[in-house]
Structure 1
Amino acid sequence: MKAPETDEAFCQWYEDCWADRDEVEYPKLFGAISEEVYTLDQTDAMQAWLESDLAAVKELDPNWGGIGVRVAPPSPEYPYWTYVTSGLSNPFTLAPGEEVDGNTPSGLGYEMVIHTTEEAQWPVLRLLDMAAYNLVCARPFAAGHRYPVEGTLTGSESKLTGFVFVTDPSRPSHFQLESGKVELLTLVGVTKNEMAFSRSNGMDRLMAKLVSAGSGYIINPDREQVQL
């Protein structure tokens, strides 16, 4: 199929794809989603990466400002907090009239998810900063990647100093929009030694140890390092 050819029709199609993800797919995947959206244009994350040595663009795309983070509070089915980016899979890589293949990625082709034991602000700030990094530095993530942070995940007392990117077996690995395919990348918080263990022994072995220890795919910033 082709994306709509006129600017007006394309903008409506773009908005419809966005709404389909946030209002149809996300509630199926995560339960009820809070109305509030935390967006990139409410932070200086994009400007900070633009001024860094890693920047791959010279100016910011206006389509990026509305990309943000949605929050799903605990529910009987999912008794923990979920934070998920909204917009990295927007079809901002397409132009009116271009061919759309449902098997190709929509936008960057993924959205990032963090599950936590308690409500907190740090998952929102981390996801916004990492989304800005993806867009401004043109460095996309994928399952199997590792991402150390400066300090700790929370910015305060915690032994977790980075993320590993995995596929959560409790949910589909991807969903489909008219604009293409979207993967779900779940970010799991790890210690420095756990991240090193995943490099040497593989992500599956690390996740098996985290699941066995009781933390699994849900981040508890206060947890101790697992036995490696």
Structure 2
Amino acid sequence: MKAPETDEDFIQWYEDCWADRDEVEYPKMFGAIDEGVFTLDQTDAIQAWMESELAQVQEADPNWGPMGVRVSPPSESYPYWTYVTSGLSNPFTVAPGEDIPDGAPSGLGYEMVIHSPEEAKWPVFRLLDMMAYNLVSLRAFAMGHRYPVEGSLDGGESKLSGFVFVRDPSRPDHFVLPSGKVQLLTLVGATRNEMAFARSNGMDKLMAKLVAAGSGYITQPDREEVKL
């Protein structure tokens, strides 16, 4: 497969890939998607990471600003809120006329998802910050990763202090755009002890404990630490 060669055709193709993800693939996987988008250019996340010692780029790519987070409210099939990034799988890594091998990732090759029992702002802020981290530090996430955060997950009294990256068995693990393959990484909130348990015993064993405790793949900031 080859990306369109002219700038005009490439821009249209780029926008079509974006629309295919947000308007076709996301509704199939998550149900109705709210029209609003929380974008990176509405925050200082990119600038904050640019000023950190982890920064690997000299200036922000203008393509990053419109990337953001989409929201899917509860439905009969999925009675909880879903927050999903929109943009990491944009083909911003491809140049006009460039060949795209079969099975190649689109953009960074993934989008991130957080499920929450209630409507909240913290999943939006966390996802935007982690998107900026990926783009500015040139560090990517993957299935099985653990990611501690500063303070608590929701900025309050939560005992959860990071995320584990897993596959949600209720959804496909990937979808395909004209620009390549996109993996879905579901982020589940965890305590430091739970993240350490996953490192030593495997992610499947941690998730089995979370499922048995009733939270499963939905992040509940006020939950207690599971018995390890």
Normalising by the residue count of structure 1, what TM-score does the alignment of the two structures yield?
0.99
Return the alpha-carbon distance in structure 2 between the equivalents of residues 186 and 167 of structure 1: 6
Return the alpha-carbon distance in structure 1 between the equivalents of residues 102 and 148 of structure 2: 33
2:99 is matched by which residue type in structure 1?
A: E
TM alignment of 1:1-228, pairs within 5 A: 1-228=1-228
Return the alpha-carbon distance in structure 1 between the equivalents of residues 148 and 227 of structure 2: 20
Task: For residue 219 of structure 1, report the CA deviation from its aligned partner.
Answer: 0.7
Return the alpha-carbon distance in structure 2 between the equivalents of residues 80 and 53 of structure 1: 37
Alignment check: 8 A CA contact 1:102 1:177 kept: no
1:63 is matched by which residue type in structure 2?
A: N
Return the alpha-carbon distance in structure 2 between the equivalents of residues 208 and 101 of structure 1: 37
Return the alpha-carbon distance in structure 2 between the equivalents of residues 86 and 137 of structure 1: 19
Fraction of identical pairs, as percent = 78
1:44 is matched by which residue type in structure 2?
A: D
1:107 is matched by which residue type in structure 2?
A: G
- Aligned pairs, number: 228
2:9 is matched by which residue type in structure 1?
A: A
Alignment check: 8 A CA contact 1:167 1:184 kept: yes
1:70 is matched by which residue type in structure 2?
A: R
1:223 is matched by which residue type in structure 2?
A: R
Return the alpha-carbon distance in structure 1 between the equivalents of residues 128 and 115 of structure 2: 15
Return the alpha-carbon distance in structure 2 between the equivalents of residues 33 and 101 of structure 1: 31
Q: Indicate the SS of the match to 2:158.
A: coil
Residues 21-78 of structure 1, C-alpha deviations (whole Å, 9 max, x = no match): 0000000000000000000000000000001000010010000111100000000000
Task: For residue 142 of structure 1, report the CA deviation from its aligned partner.
Answer: 0.1
Task: For residue 192 of structure 1, report the CA deviation from its aligned partner.
Answer: 1.1
Task: For residue 123 of structure 1, report the CA deviation from its aligned partner.
Answer: 0.2
The two structures, once aligned, show a CA RMSD in angstroms of 0.5
Return the alpha-carbon distance in structure 1 between the equivalents of residues 24 and 141 of structure 2: 24
Task: For residue 102 of structure 1, report the CA deviation from its aligned partner.
Answer: 3.8
2:161 is matched by which residue type in structure 1?
A: T
Return the alpha-carbon distance in structure 2 between the equivalents of residues 99 and 138 of structure 1: 22
Return the alpha-carbon distance in structure 2 between the equivalents of residues 41 and 175 of structure 1: 26
Return the alpha-carbon distance in structure 2 between the equivalents of residues 17 and 125 of structure 1: 25
Q: Could you list the runs of 5+ residues in structure 2 that have no partner in the other structure?
A: none
Q: Could you list the runs of 5+ residues in structure 1 that have no partner in the other structure?
A: none
